[in-house]
Amino acid sequence: MSSSEQMKAVTIPEFGEAEVLRTDKVAIPEPGPGQVAIDVAYAGANFAEVLYRRGVVDVPLPFVPGIEVAGRIRAVGEGVEDLTVGQRVAALTIVDSGGYAEVAVTSADLVAPLDDLGLGLDVAAALPSNSTTAFLVLDRVARIEPGQSVLVHAAAGGVGSQLGQAARLLGAGRVVGTVGSEAKIETARNFGYDEVILRDRIAEAGEFDIIVDMVGGPARRASLDRLAPMGRLVVMGNASGADDVGVPANELWFTNKTVSGFNLAAFSAAFPEEAGRALRRAVAAAAKGTLRVQVETLPLERAVEAHRRIEAGATTGKLVLQVATL
Ligand SMILES: NC(=O)c1ccc[n+]([C@@H]2O[C@H](COP(=O)([O-])OP(=O)(O)OC[C@H]3O[C@@H](n4cnc5c(N)ncnc54)[C@H](OP(=O)(O)O)[C@@H]3O)[C@@H](O)[C@H]2O)c1
C-alpha cells in the first residue's frame, strides 16, 4: 500500500552500473496487516543491493533497494501489538526491499526494538543483514558444535567480519579468515580471527569442520578440499562474480562432506519469526559489546559511491547510508 504523499528515495530505474541509481521522489508506503512503517535514519549498504541493481534478481522497475534499516516506528498495521509509534528499532526490509528511503515497510516479525540498549542508529542499521546471517549460517545451517574449527572467506568484509565473531560466541575452536589482499589482514585480525591468511594460500591452512563461502569461483572448489570428514561448506554468495562451481555429489558421498546453501531473503520470507529471533540475538550481542561492527557513514545521496566501492571490494566492515537525522 502507498499514500499520495511523497518521500525521498534512491531508486533503480533501470538495471546497470552504479550510475543508474537515482535520488528520486516516490510514494510513501503504508503498513498492511502485520507490518510496520519505519522512519529511516540509516540504511545498510550491501552487496545484495548491487546484485539487485545489476538485475541478477529480476524485480519490477523502478525499484527501491535496501534490505535493512534503523530508525523509529512511524505507523503500525492491523494486528501489530508489541511495537509502538516512535520506538527506536532495527529491521530487516529484505523480503520486499525499500530501505534506501525515508520510510520503509516490513513485517513486524523482522523488527528488533532498540529501546534503551544504548546502540546508535548507525550501528543498528549495520546489524540486520550481516550479523543475523552470521548467526543463522553457523547455528541453523552448519549446526556448529563447541570446539569446531571454522574458516570464513572475505573475513574483513561486512558479513565476514560478523561470522568470525559469531563463531566465537557460538563456542567455535580455531577460527580462521581469508582475505584477498595483504592490506586487509590486520583489519580482519581485529575482528577476532585467530589467523588471517591470503585466500590463495588456503591449501596450507589445514582442515575445517565448517567453511563459509560467499566469494565463489576457485575459492569454492578449494574450500571443498579443506573440509574435514563430516565437514560442512555453506555457500552464501558469489562476490567474485565467477561462473557457478558444480558440486561433485559422488565426492560428497565418498568423503562424508556436506554442502549447504543459505539466503537470508528467502529464509526471512519462509521463516520470519525465526529470522526475527536471530536479528534480536544479534542486536543483543552488539549491545552487550560481544559483537562489534565497524561502520562508515555516507549520505543517502552518495549511494552511487557506496555501490562502486562495494563492488570493487574496496570496503572493510560496513557502509551505512544516512537518510535522516532522527
Ligand atoms: N546469503 C545471504 O543471505 C547473504 C547475506 C549477506 C551477504 N551475502 C553475500 O556475501 C558476500 C559479501 O557481502 P558483504 O555485504 O559482506 O560485502 P562486502 O563487505 O563488500 O564483502 C565482499 C568481499 O568479497 C571479496 N571479493 C572477492 N572477489 C570480489 C570481487 N570480484 N568483487 C568484489 N568483492 C570481491 C572482497 O574481499 P577480499 O578483498 O577479502 O577478497 C570483498 O570485500 C556477497 O556476495 C553477498 O551477496 C549473502
User: What is the per-residue pLDDT for 4?
Assistant: 79
Query: Which residues is 150 bridged to in the sheet?
Result: 175, 210
The three cell numbers of residue 103 are 520510510
Q: Among 159, 274, 309, say which to mutate for ligand 1: greatest number of ligand atoms within 8 Å of CB.
A: 159
- Encode the chain (326 residues) as per-residue pLDDT tens digits: 677 799 999 999 999 999 999 999 999 999 999 999 999 999 999 999 999 999 999 899 999 999 999 999 999 999 999 999 999 999 999 999 999 999 999 999 999 999 989 999 999 999 999 999 999 999 999 999 999 999 999 999 999 999 999 999 999 999 999 999 999 999 999 999 999 999 999 999 999 999 999 999 999 999 999 999 999 999 999 999 999 999 999 999 999 999 999 999 999 999 999 999 999 999 999 999 999 999 999 999 999 999 999 999 999 999 999 999 99
| Ligand 1 neighbours by CB, cut-off 6 Å | 46-48, 129-130, 133, 154, 156-160, 179-181, 184, 214-215, 236-241, 262-264, 310-311, 313, 315
Nearest-CA residue for ligand 1 atom 29 is 240
Q: Which of 214, 260, 318 has most ligand 1 atoms within 8 Å of CB, for mutation? A: 214
3-state secondary structure of 270: helix
CA–CA separation, 254 and 249 (whole Å): 9
| Ligand 1 atom 42, closest CA | 313
Distance (Å) from CA 91 to ligand 1 centroid: 21
Q: Which of 219, 262, 6 is nearest to 129 (CA)?
A: 262
pTM over 0.95: yes
Instruction: Provide CB contacts within 8 A for 311, sequence distance 6+.
Output: 18, 47, 50
| Secondary structure (3-state) at 1 | coil
What pLDDT is attached to residue 3? 73
Q: Tell me how far apart the alpha carbons of residues 30 and 108 are, in angstroms, rounded to a whole number.
A: 13
**What pLDDT does residue 25 have?**
97
Residue at grid coordinates 522497475: 61
- The C-alpha cell that represents 272 in the structure block: 520470519
Gyration radius (Cα) of the chain, Å = 19
